[in-house]
Amino acid sequence: SRFRHDYLEVRGLRVVFDGFVAVDGVDLTVTQGDLRFLIGPNGAGKTTIVDAITGLTRCTGSVQFGGTELVGRPSHTIVRAGVGRTFQTASVFDELTVVQNLDIAAGSGRGPLTMLRRRSGLPDEVAAALETIGLTALADAPAGVLAHGQKQWLEIGMLLVQDARLLLLDEPVAGMSQAEREQTGQLLQRIGEQRTVVVVEHDMEFLRSFATSVTVLHQGRVLSEGTVAEVQADPKVVEVYLGR
């Protein structure tokens, strides 16, 4: 597969805000075809790590993706290296249809003719993304009418057509119904088979259905790492989650 060499290797990542150490020497290795959850209590440093990887926050240490060093590079260069992220609040264009949103993300939404193109003329990657995110039936609906969960899926679809090979998803199931959570779980499994996926999550319940590894953060450091069952049985994790 063309994704074969895509692995994320974070070494000694450190982020300091006005003397406050938010991320304190984090190491993290995620291989291609792996889905990794990043969990931990509020303030543990999860979002700051994603910000640092994507060039939104100054950091020191090393972040390599597919062998390319990302620390010190501007965000647009990091995007071009195949790194994509979502935010807790989905940022889609409400006035545009689902397909038009995907088209723009694919870089093919270059004018009114492209916008009016019939569905049969969809580029392969847009049609494939629609299928993957389960929004084929809503392809021509304005994104503004989508339910909260569907908007999150659209945002993930936009990363797929952008050809992001490392996806960093910040609490994708926050605010979702149980049914939407289950569908999102399946979507993440599917994407994780192909690409490198890091999901920030704080809901332990959501993780239970995944046979994948979890990195637990606490006060800017890696507290524990292993399967869901392993980290849940780790006394250090129990203390941090219950001792609040």
Site residues (vs ligand ADP, CB under 6 A): 17, 20, 22, 40, 42-48
Residue whose CB is less far from ligand ADP, 45 or 192? 45
Run of H or E residues at 217: strand 213-218
33 exposure class (CB count in 10 Å sphere: 0-12, 13-18, 19+): middle
- For the CB of residue 195, give the shortest distance to ligand ADP in the complex, in Å: 22
DSSP 8-class letter at 97: B
Beta carbon of residue 20, minimum distance to ligand ADP (angstroms, whole number): 6
CB of 46 to ligand ADP, least distance (A): 3
Q: What is the dihedral of CA 33, 14, 62, 71, to 10 degrees?
A: 100
Task: For the CB of residue 100, give the shortest distance to ligand ADP in the complex, in Å.
Answer: 32
Going along 70-184, which residue ranges are E strands?
83-86, 166-170
Strand ranges of the sheet holding 213-218, from the earlier edge strand across to the other edge: 83-86, 166-170, 196-200, 35-39, 213-218, 221-227
Q: Cβ of residue 168: shortest distance to ligand ADP, in angstroms?
A: 12
- In whole angstroms, give the CA distance from residue 96 to residue 109: 11
By three-state DSSP, how is residue 183 classified?
Answer: helix
Residue (43 or 121) nearer to ligand ADP, CB = 43
How far is it, in rounded angstroms, from Cα 58 to Cα 71?
Answer: 8
Q: Which is nearer to ligand ADP, 48 or 183 (CB)?
A: 48
**Between residues 46 and 165, which has the closer beta carbon with respect to ligand ADP?**
46
User: C-beta of 44: minimal distance to ligand ADP in Å?
Assistant: 4
* Choice between 45 and 66, CB closer to ligand ADP: 45
Nearest residue (CB) to ligand ADP, 43 versus 175: 43
CA distance 105 to 62: 28
